[in-house]
Amino acid sequence: MKQLNYIKLEFPARSVNEGFARAAAAAFAAQMDPTMEELGDVKTAVSEAVTNAIVHAYPDTVGTVQMRLRLLDGNTLEIMVRDRGRGIPDVKKAMEPMFSTGGEERSGMGFTIMGSFMDSLRVRSAVDRGTTVTMSKRIRAKGS
The catalytic site residues sit at 48, 52, 106
Residues 131, 85 contacting (CB under 8 angstroms) = yes
State how far the alpha carbon of 136 is from the alpha carbons of 26, 62, 72, 106, in Å.
14, 27, 10, 25
HSE of 122, CA atoms in CB hemisphere, 13 A = 7
3-state secondary structure of 120: strand
Please name the residues in contact with 23: beta carbons below 8 A apart, sequence gap of 6 or more.
Answer: none
Please provide residue 108's backbone torsions phi and psi, each rounded to the nearest 5 degrees: 75, 20
| Distance from C-alpha of 75 to C-alpha of 84, rounded to nearest angstrom | 30
